[in-house]
């Protein structure tokens, strides 16, 4: 699979952080930490009950302090350091476990818990504290911060950069994602249309499994280090 591989795009989803103790959406029957997606991950939910949404993400942000990256995050960091070709790591996750696992270059297409977006000035600022208490925006001072998380119905970040990489890559690897959330779920078709090989690493068959050339089933903490070893041994 890795012979002649020079440009890799990796897409990760909530499944890569599951063994670190962060719930996925689907594991709880479409709920996120006991909340309906419509309530905590849509602009309409935020408009309806901003306190619920701000408090929810304050809790998710605080919960990051209680979890650690797992061997899957560490393996991707090792790949970044040792792979001689081009690598783009795209994550749908809003946690910071890739960075804490050692990856220096991570594209968070759905935003980050540790970032705030001001709805007055549109600026994004690093954020570690709470938002429920309506702190001022560090840029314009308006008390209009929201989580810098891309909600359903909103445009993910850096799609131009991602599609450019998908057009050029010779391998797309999708890790721990259900293949249910677009546009990320469509990356496999984009990559295939450009002639790339496509590999899925997931605990169970995903909605998009049949679209991949190869699908390996198992926990990310096992499958990802194995795959990284394979790529680096063949490339070396």
Q: Write the burial class of residue 44 (CB in 10 Å: 0-12 exposed, 13-18 middle, 19+ buried).
A: exposed
Choose between 110 and 114: whose C-beta lies nearer to ligand NAD.
Answer: 110
Tell me whether residue 213 is one of the annotated catalytic residues.
no
Catalytic residue among 73, 98, 108, 110: 110
**E strand or H helix at 178, and its extent?**
none
In whole angstroms, the minimum distance from the beta carbon of 226 to ligand NAD comes to 12
Choose between 112 and 170: whose C-beta lies nearer to ligand NAD.
Answer: 112
Choose between 25 and 163: whose C-beta lies nearer to ligand NAD.
Answer: 25
Choose between 15 and 225: whose C-beta lies nearer to ligand NAD.
Answer: 15
Binding interface with ligand NAD (CB under 6 A): 13-15, 17-19, 22, 24-26, 32, 92-95, 110, 176-178, 180-181, 202-204, 206, 219-220
Angle at 53 between CA 91 and CA 15, to 5 degrees: 30
User: How far apart (Å, rounded) are the C-alpha atoms in residues 60 and 66?
Assistant: 10
Helices 220-235 and 71-82, packing angle to 10 deg: 20
Choose between 2 and 215: whose C-beta lies nearer to ligand NAD.
Answer: 215
In whole angstroms, the minimum distance from the beta carbon of 128 to ligand NAD comes to 16
User: How far is residue 207 from each of residues 116, 173, 176, 204, measured CA to CA in Å?
Assistant: 32, 15, 12, 10
- Beta-strand pair 86-91/107-108: parallel
Which tokens go with 35? 């909340």
User: How far apart (Å, rounded) are the C-alpha atoms in residues 115 and 113?
Assistant: 6
Torsion region of 232: left, alpha or beta (phi above 0 gives left; psi -120 to 50 gives alpha): alpha
Instruction: Provide the β-strand partners of residue 165.
Output: none
Q: What is the DSSP letter of 66?
A: G
Nearest to 181 by CA among 64, 42, 57, 67: 42
Contact between 134 and 81 under an 8 Å Cβ cutoff? The reply is no
Residues that are catalytic: 110
């Amino acid at each position: 699979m890795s012979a002649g591989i020079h440009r890799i795009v990796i897409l990760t989803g909530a499944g890569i952080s599951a063994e670190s103790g962060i719930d996925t959406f689907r594991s709880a029957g479409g709920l996120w930490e006991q909340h309906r997606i419509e309530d905590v991950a849509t602009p309409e939910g935020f408009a309806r009950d901003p306190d619920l949404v701000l408090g929810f993400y304050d809790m998710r942000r605080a919960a990051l302090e209680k979890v650690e990256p797992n061997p899957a995050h560490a393996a991707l960091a090792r790949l970044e350091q040792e792979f001689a070709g081009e690598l783009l790591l795209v994550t749908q996750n809003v946690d910071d476990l890739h960075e804490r696992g050692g990856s220096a270059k991570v594209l968070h297409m759905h935003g980050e818990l540790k970032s705030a977006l001001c709805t007055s000035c549109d600026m994004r600022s690093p954020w570690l504290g709470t938002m429920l208490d309506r702190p001022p925006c560090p840029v314009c001072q308006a008390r209009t911060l929201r989580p810098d998380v891309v909600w359903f119905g909103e445009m993910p970040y850096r799609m131009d950069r991602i599609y450019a990489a998908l057009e050029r890559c010779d391998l797309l690897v999708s890790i721990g994602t259900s293949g249910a959330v677009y546009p990320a779920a469509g990356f496999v078709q984009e990559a295939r249309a450009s002639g790339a090989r496509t590999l899925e690493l997931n605990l169970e068959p995903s909605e998009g499994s049949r679209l991949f050339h190869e699908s390996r089933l198992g926990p990310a903490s096992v499958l990802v280090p194995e795959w990284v070893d394979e790529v680096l041994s063949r490339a070396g």
